[in-house]
Structures are given as C-alpha cells and as structure tokens.
Structure 1
C-alpha cells in the first residue's frame, strides 16, 4: 500500500519559533527535518508528502510558508498546507494571492486553541469561501467536543473542500466512543468533508496504541466517510507522543488490510491527489 503523507510537520528552530512545544519533552528541543523523516520512512512505501503548517508562533506563520516553499520539489515534498487567519480581513486577500506562488495546496487554522465562536463569525466564513473559490482545501483541526461546530462550518461553506484532521481527535484513552461516533457521523453527512486518518495513536493510553485498540474507531471512520473520503497522514513528529511514525505506518496497513486494492489506493494516494490537487 503506497502512501502520500498529507500531514508532515517539520521543525527548524533556527528559522522559526515553536512555543507550543515547550513542556513537551519529546518535541521541545532539536530539529525535525526532511532528512530525519526520510530516514524513518525509507522502505515504508511513502511516495510523497504534503507539509502541514506546524503551529509556529503567530508572528512567524507567513515566514514558515515562505521557507517551506523553498523546500517543495525536493525529497518528495509535493506541496504545503499553509497557515492563515480567516478571522481577520486585513491582509487576508494579499496572503491568499502571495500563496499562489508558494506551492500551497490548502490552508489551515488550528481551531481547538481559540475561542469556539471564531469559526462561527461571518468574517471567518466569508474568507473561507474565498479559499474555496481558489479551489484549495481547508484543514479543520477541532477537538471531539467541537465536532458540532465542524459540522455547522461545513454546512455554511458548501463549496469549500474540508479535511477534518486526526479523525476529530477522539478520546480513545477515555473510551469516549459513543459521543464521538455520533458527532463524527454528523460531520460525515456533509459531502464536502473528508477525514484524515492521522494523529490517533497519541490519543491512546500510553503503551496501548495498537491495531486492537484502534480497530473500532477506524472501522467507524471507514463506515461513515467511506474510502472515497479518507486521506492518510503521519503527523510526524507529534506521532512520537504515540506509536512513532514507522509503527503508525504498519498499524495503518493492518487496519485497512481487508479493504479492496482500489479502496486502499484511494486512501493511500488517490484521495490526496484529488483533494489537494497534487500532480
């Protein structure tokens, strides 16, 4: 099963600030580079990646996209999902226009670290519709408790392609399956939303991130979104808080082994090419 990793973070501390990593020992120091990633995935059928904005310090989000643009085209890096601030009109159009030249395949605003009302504002939704008119994707990053907000946002912007990151951040360690399953089923009813199979090993009780633990959660994702609306992401290096990247790749392949070859190909590469308009 070949994979396009649609959620590859990179950390270059000599270039950018990553204040959110403070207090997370596995991520708080050192760089996490393209060459590091290549060493981890050699022989694991990862045929390309899409950089995902890494939540840099607010003053650096545009600098990050400009820096990553210089890396696209090397080492299998196909495109990037850049950060943006749809809640603010000033400078938003200019940033969209600049990103036309930065190999940007989509945008993201991390929404679990801001007020819940932000994505409900008309300014935010108006600017998201501009992203849709540019035929670019928007990654939604919500916690499980915020999934009704995600469902509402998708309905309000029906012409925008959305990707829900990390399976909606389920509380696997807390076994909060039923509430999450109902909420994510509602999100899946919007045909403009796909889901990213990523991040979930970090939500397991430490030491329990395995096929058995994850089976019913991923089976539910496959059931409600179908293989036609699922993409795969490594979430490296954050995945180090769970299984680590090589193990997550193997878990993915085992979880999806019962799907047809065409369905596996759609999740592994085909949907990523379509949703992010990759060549």
Structure 2
C-alpha cells in the first residue's frame, strides 16, 4: 500500500489562494473526489493533506475544510499538515487552537518563495521550538541555497521532527547537482530530519523527463537519509504539470526497482504510519 503524505486540494469555491493568480495551470478546481478516484487505482490507501498557502485569514478554515472531507465515509484523508506563521506573535495562540484538531499532524510554512532570512528571526525560531513535545512535525520546503538556514533551524529544535519536502527542491532541469547534494547530505546527518520523495518530476524539463533523469537525485536522497527516514508524496495536483498522479506512481516504482520489499514498504507507507501514528 501507499500512504501519500503530500496531497493538495484546491477548492476555489471554499477557500482563497492568492498565489494561484500567477499559476494559470493550477488556478482551477482540483477536488478531493478527482484525486481519490485515481489514487485508489494506483494503490494509494491513505493520504495527508498538505497546506496550499491559502489566504492568511483562512488558515484555520482550511484545516476545518479538510477535517470535513476526512469525516466522509470511506475517505482516504487521515491527517493534515496545516499552514502556519511562526514569524508572527499569534503563533502560540494558534498552536493551542490547532492542537485541539485531531486532523492536524504537523505544520508547514512555505519558505522557498519567501525571503531567505524569514526563518532567522528570533520570533520564528522561538515559535518553532514551541513544537517540542507536541508530536507535531514541521515540513521544510526550501531551495538548495536556503538549506544552510534550514539546518540552523533544525539544530535549534533537536526534538522536533522536520521533513524535507521534494528531495530538497533540486534544479534537475539545470543539472545543478553539486550544491544540492552537499546540502542534502548535511541535513540528513540530523536524526530528527526525514526526507520526502515527492514533487521532483516538475523540476525537470516540463514533460520531457525520464526515470533516469530523476534517478541521481532520488538515489542520493535515499542514500543520505536511509530507508528508515524516508516518506513518499504525490504533490498532486502540482505533479500534473509534468504528467499525472499515475505517471508519478509508476516512476516511483521504477526508481525503487530492485529495492527489498521491506525497504520499499518503509518508504511508501511504514515510516509515515509510524511518524504520524496513523491507524491505516
């Protein structure tokens, strides 16, 4: 089975997404029902919703919306990674509120499209430390040149589990592997960091990518973290910019060809189940 740890639902009738105005291909409805119909066909048995950077005033509403979908009979949704603003004074109150919502398993603050120094403020770092002891994780979506700052954040909160999204966002199209691979190797030395195999097909040349194009990046990421510290994500519907959900699942199986059944099961479902205490 597969547990998808990185699903985005875009419902323009329920929530507002300011950033979508500049991404025409994604600026439309991507409903849960559309995802679930295909997901079941490719072996995805459960999924965690990843925040979609909704309007700041609707962050709590997004979690409530996902909770409603998860409550539907037969829903694949078993959790959510919620948006947050650690750079703001209200984070502590927000954390108290969200901890009452069973659907929320962790947080993400989009960093790869923000100023590099956002995570370096004293308030941001203090608020990330507030996750200590909560069991809530924090996803890191950073560019290779931001990895040093991500590592500093990880080191300040050693008992918080961090997840590196999309294999660290490598520049696959540009072939710039050297700086990226050093950053992955370094952050993977921290035992409280998990790698996520997700989203990298879109970093190639549109739909002109292949399994072999992705392989060096996937193998280095898995080699750095090991199969005990890797999870999998579809990044749907962003993955549709370079294929489809089915395409990415097929590519994943090809990339893991030759891997032992035990290690493959850890990456595709076991580690996620253990990390977020999922009952699926």
Q: TM-score range by the shorter chain?
A: over 0.9
Match of 1:61 in 2: 59
Shift of 1:8: 0.5
**Distance in 1 of aligned mates of 2:239 and 2:3:** 16
Report if aligned partners of 1:272, 1:278 keep a CA contact under 8 Å in 2.
yes
**Distance in 2 of aligned mates of 1:25 and 1:84:** 25
Shift of 1:114: 2.0
Match of 1:4 in 2: 3
Shift of 1:276: 2.1
Q: Cα deviation per residue 1:195-235 (whole Å; 9 max; x = unaligned)?
A: 11001000001232321111111010111110111100000
**Distance in 1 of aligned mates of 2:228 and 2:155:** 19
Question: Cα RMSD (Å) of the superposition?
Answer: 1.3
More divergent stretch after superposition (260-269 vs 58-67):
58-67
**Distance in 1 of aligned mates of 2:109 and 2:42:** 30
Match of 1:46 in 2: 44
Shift of 1:23: 3.1
Shift of 1:59: 2.2
Report if aligned partners of 1:147, 1:183 keep a CA contact under 8 Å in 2.
yes
Q: Cα deviation per residue 1:82-105 (whole Å; 9 max; x = unaligned)?
A: 011111122x22221221232110
Q: Cα deviation per residue 1:15-69 (whole Å; 9 max; x = unaligned)?
A: 111121223232112x111110012223211010000001112222222112212
TM-score, normalisation: structure 2:
0.95
What SS is found at the alignment partner of 1:194? strand
State how 1:210-221 maps to structure 2 within 5 Å: 210-221=210-221
Report if aligned partners of 1:140, 1:164 keep a CA contact under 8 Å in 2.
yes
**Distance in 1 of aligned mates of 2:163 and 2:209:** 23
**Distance in 2 of aligned mates of 1:133 and 1:235:** 28
Report if aligned partners of 2:112, 2:142 keep a CA contact under 8 Å in 1.
yes
More divergent stretch after superposition (115-124 vs 249-258):
115-124
**Distance in 2 of aligned mates of 1:164 and 1:87:** 20
For structure 2, the 5+ residue unaligned runs are: none
Shift of 1:188: 0.6
For structure 1, the 5+ residue unaligned runs are: none
Match of 1:93 in 2: 92
Aligned residue pairs total 276
Match of 2:139 in 1: 139
Residue 197 in structure 1 maps to residue 225 in structure 2: no
**Distance in 2 of aligned mates of 1:225 and 1:13:** 37
Shift of 1:136: 0.8
Report if aligned partners of 1:105, 1:277 keep a CA contact under 8 Å in 2.
no
State how 1:18-37 maps to structure 2 within 5 Å: 18-29=17-28, 31-37=29-35
TM-score, normalisation: structure 1:
0.95
Report if aligned partners of 2:170, 2:176 keep a CA contact under 8 Å in 1.
yes
Distance 1:101 1:69, change over 3 A: farther
**Distance in 1 of aligned mates of 2:99 and 2:210:** 40
**Distance in 1 of aligned mates of 2:159 and 2:22:** 39
Residue 255 in structure 1 maps to residue 255 in structure 2: yes
**Distance in 2 of aligned mates of 1:14 and 1:51:** 18
Report if aligned partners of 1:10, 1:32 keep a CA contact under 8 Å in 2.
yes
